[in-house]
Amino acid sequence: MPERVKDADIIVANKLPMCEETLKDAKNLKLVCLTATGINNLDGEYLKKTRHSCCNVAGYSTDAVAQQTFCPLFFI
């Protein structure tokens, strides 16, 4: 994966380790964004040391998800 991210400005990933081994050659990197609610795949110490911004998905599991889940119950 380091070869794939070396020219990236922004990385959008899920379930991949965002650590020094992965990001060390990404010289243009500004942001790592995870498409998940957790942050366990982010090496926070490394990202802080290299001043890369990071975030996880915002607004995940909103009311619409609950509504979509319960809707079929009304048609049984």
The residues, any chain, with a CB within 8 Å of residue 59's CB and separated by 6 or more, are none
Task: Return the structure tokens found at 36.
Answer: 């998940």
Question: What confidence score (pLDDT) does residue 25 get?
Answer: 94
pLDDT tens-digit map of 5-61: 999 999 999 889 999 999 999 999 999 999 988 888 999 999 999 999 999 887 777
pTM, to two decimals: 0.72
Question: What confidence score (pLDDT) does residue 58 get?
Answer: 74
Task: Return the structure tokens found at 11.
Answer: 């990385």
Question: What confidence score (pLDDT) does residue 76 get?
Answer: 67
Question: What confidence score (pLDDT) does residue 75 get?
Answer: 81
The residues, any chain, with a CB within 8 Å of residue 1's CB and separated by 6 or more, are 16, 22
